Structure 1
Amino acid sequence: MTATTAERARTRLEALASAGLDTPAFATGAIEILRGALPFSAACLATADPATELVTGTVKWGGLTNNEDDIWAHQEYVVDNQYSFTDVTRRPGGVTTAAAETGGEPSRLPRFHEFFTPCYDFGDELRVSAPADGATWGFIALFRDGSGRFTPAEMDFASSVGPLFGRGLRGGLVAGAVDTVTGPDGPAVLVVDHAGEVVQAGAGATARLLDLGATENGPMPFSLVALVGAARRYASGRSHQLPRTRLRTRSGQWVVAHASPMASRDGSGTDVVVTIEEARPPEIVPLVVAAFGLTPREQDVVRMVLQGHGTAEIATALHLSSYTVQDHLKAVFAKVGVRSRRELTSRVFFDQYAPRLAEGRGVAPSGWFAPGTPPCVPTTTAV
């Protein structure tokens, strides 16, 4: 790889990351650009929830399929004694390889001698994190066949473009807001057994799975498979926080998924309960605001706008002049692609909540919108 080739790839990746593409389109283009500078046999580009660094989706290239997602998740979250995606973020430059981790013997890793080598004949793996503004938005895994090894120079190059992938993946979260709410309503509950099979499902579960990318009678989407693996890791005592992650569905909705291991009285249970429910504003707004690439001060201004504060109130609270607040708002409007505070509020909520108000949805006792219920309209009494 020459310096000219590397610089050309970086320039193209930077342009792609700023193009406002959705995640699949960005990932497909970015993998092709990267391959022109850093040869590899196969690749997997994973998105992640920056709050937990759990994988929320994947785009695969080079013969990799979704058929082995349960094995991927098992190796990533359950099997011990090997580095994980989360570990990579703590490595210098956010990059490592299987050869570097094992002194040149990747076969020492369970994921290689149990999975990668027998299934794909991979000889080395390069992993790099995809950060942006201090948060991790995804990961890249590149593979070489047989005896091929990634060099230190290639690791340095991958580290240098990791943030460009981070920007592109982050931007993909806010590409293509929806105009109407067409996805399923209500929470869904699944029970997954030790073999990764859904053995029980509550009302609405099938609709939720399809909206998350599953197929009829097919396996769960990788985001949920990974969540189940993380729950099993929690059950084994190697993680101290029950896993949860925020996901954007095909219909444009945001949902929060939780996973919790079930234990029988003798402690031998292996089932995992997965709950999928629509995200509330406090859960999703920080992620959405960060995804637009706003500066910390711009994020402060947006939070106060969403709370209904005027320019003077924002200026006083943030110790800024009114002119500076207006300048921040202009910058925010340009980044988000809106022209007013009203549009900003709708865009931040991805039109997920605004359509419900426009449809006249009322609020149920749970504090959330009730399906098909008209809003509560105050009555007036003639005097």
Structure 2
Amino acid sequence: MFVEDVNHFHTLAGLPTPAASLYRVTGRHPARSSRYHNVNLSQGLGDELRCVFRAGRDVWGYMCLWRAADAQPFSLGEEHLLAALSTPIGETFRRSALLRPNPVIGVPDGPGLLVFDRTGALESLNEPAEAWLRRLPLTRLSHDDPGATPIPAELRSVVNKARAIAARRDTGVARARLRVGGRWVVIHGFALREAGSEGGRTALVIESAKAAEMAPLIVRTYQLGRREQQVIRLIAAGLTTAEIAARLSLSTHTIRGYLKRIFEKVEVSTRGELTAKIFADHYVETMNPDFATDL
């Protein structure tokens, strides 16, 4: 269950050092942490070491390590070691997003819908959701009912995020992206409320990612700046260098400079290769005229 706590991953993402232990953050008093009481102790765990994997300013992954309750807490040296691995691992994750997706095989035709009760247990689901679950790695926690359907960790995190937002303990959007069989999938979470009640149920929708939804990730993956994104959008629309310069009120020399940097980042040498690599290589089956404008 989501609890308000310290040492959140989103907090680490904005700090100079991307790794921190619970003992150090709480001044060697982990009892100040509600997560320590509600999660760690019940699992026989003590200190935890969290790290986010960054490439530039973007976070591409995260990790949490635990020590047994009777073990020594993580040392500062271990924190530094994990922090030193943040950039190379983050860069590896970033580059993995550039892998060309596999052909779609066995992907459900429609979105999957899952409904969870107040305790976070799966209450109902439709047929496409069953098909999606068969393609996702399942996770069974020690406190789960033995007869309950195992739920992927990614789905659990979106459920918890949606519940936290509904309870005003968090902000933002309950959503996650993940790769399934080489394809990108999007998970959306929503808190449900019946008329005249406090609610408590949570709904998840899982579906193949549309091209427009993937555009921001592709932009981040290639580390394209705002002007570079504008130039790519206009290239995709078929404009010449002079036309792009006129549209952006810049000189043709400046546009050529942007093109040179874009080609270097995307590792292409022509406009045709650029368009194919950014658009066709990542979701050719979902390309539509709106994709370029959503960059």
TM-score range, shorter chain: 0.7 to 0.9
The 1:239/1:323 distance shift into structure 2, 3 A limit, reads: closer
Matches within 5 A, 1:288-307: 288-294=218-224, 298-307=228-237
Question: 2:177 is aligned with what amino acid?
Answer: R
The 1:315/1:100 distance shift into structure 2, 3 A limit, reads: same
2:65 is equivalent to residue 142 of structure 1: yes
Q: Deviations over 1:161-185 (max 9, x none)?
A: 322222122222222432x333223
Structure 2 residue corresponding to 1:189, chosen from 113, 121, 138: 113
Partners of 2:263 and 2:149 in 1: CA distance: 46
Contact 1:98/1:125, CA 8 A, preserved across alignment: yes
Matches within 5 A, 1:167-182: 167-178=91-102, 180-182=103-105
Contact 1:301/1:328, CA 8 A, preserved across alignment: no
Q: Deviations over 1:122-157 (max 9, x none)?
A: 332221222222122222223333332233343334
Give the number of the structure with larger relative contact order, counting CA–CA contacts within 8 Å between residues 6 or more apart. 1
Structure 1 residue corresponding to 2:257, chosen from 324, 327, 341: 324
SS at match of 1:150: coil
SS at match of 2:17: helix
Partners of 1:136 and 1:130 in 2: CA distance: 6
Q: Deviations over 1:309-346 (max 9, x none)?
A: 33333344453526435423431442xxx565444434
The 1:224/1:240 distance shift into structure 2, 3 A limit, reads: same
Identity of aligned residues (%): 29
Partners of 2:263 and 2:15 in 1: CA distance: 38
Shift of 1:238: 1.4
Shift of 1:204: 1.6
Partners of 2:192 and 2:42 in 1: CA distance: 33
2:196 is equivalent to residue 266 of structure 1: yes
The 1:346/1:197 distance shift into structure 2, 3 A limit, reads: farther
Shift of 1:351: 4.0
Question: 2:172 is aligned with what amino acid?
Answer: Q
Contact 2:100/2:282, CA 8 A, preserved across alignment: no
Contact 2:210/2:286, CA 8 A, preserved across alignment: no
Partners of 2:42 and 2:178 in 1: CA distance: 32
Structure 1 residue corresponding to 2:177, chosen from 246, 268, 273: 246
Question: Please, what TM-score do these two structures have when normalized by structure 1?
Answer: 0.62
Query: Any stretches of 5+ residues in structure 2 without a counterpart?
Result: 140-147
Shift of 1:271: 0.8
Question: Please, what TM-score do these two structures have when normalized by structure 2?
Answer: 0.78
The equivalent of 1:102 in structure 2 is 26
Query: Any stretches of 5+ residues in structure 1 without a counterpart?
Result: 1-73, 369-383
Contact 1:211/1:249, CA 8 A, preserved across alignment: yes
SS at match of 1:93: coil
Shift of 1:259: 1.0
Partners of 1:332 and 1:235 in 2: CA distance: 40
Partners of 1:268 and 1:274 in 2: CA distance: 19
Partners of 2:237 and 2:127 in 1: CA distance: 35
The 1:327/1:339 distance shift into structure 2, 3 A limit, reads: closer
Contact 1:181/1:355, CA 8 A, preserved across alignment: no
Contact 2:185/2:209, CA 8 A, preserved across alignment: yes
Partners of 1:126 and 1:251 in 2: CA distance: 30
Contact 1:126/1:141, CA 8 A, preserved across alignment: yes
Considering only aligned residues, what root-mean-square deviation do their CA atoms show, in Å? 3.2
Contact 1:129/1:140, CA 8 A, preserved across alignment: yes
Q: Deviations over 1:50-74 (max 9, x none)?
A: xxxxxxxxxxxxxxxxxxxxxxxx2
Partners of 2:181 and 2:280 in 1: CA distance: 13
Question: 1:347 is aligned with what amino acid?
Answer: K
Partners of 2:130 and 2:273 in 1: CA distance: 33
Contact 2:55/2:90, CA 8 A, preserved across alignment: yes
The equivalent of 1:207 in structure 2 is 131
Q: Deviations over 1:218-268 (max 9, x none)?
A: 42221111000001101111124341233332241x333211111223333
**Count of residue pairs the alignment pairs up:** 278
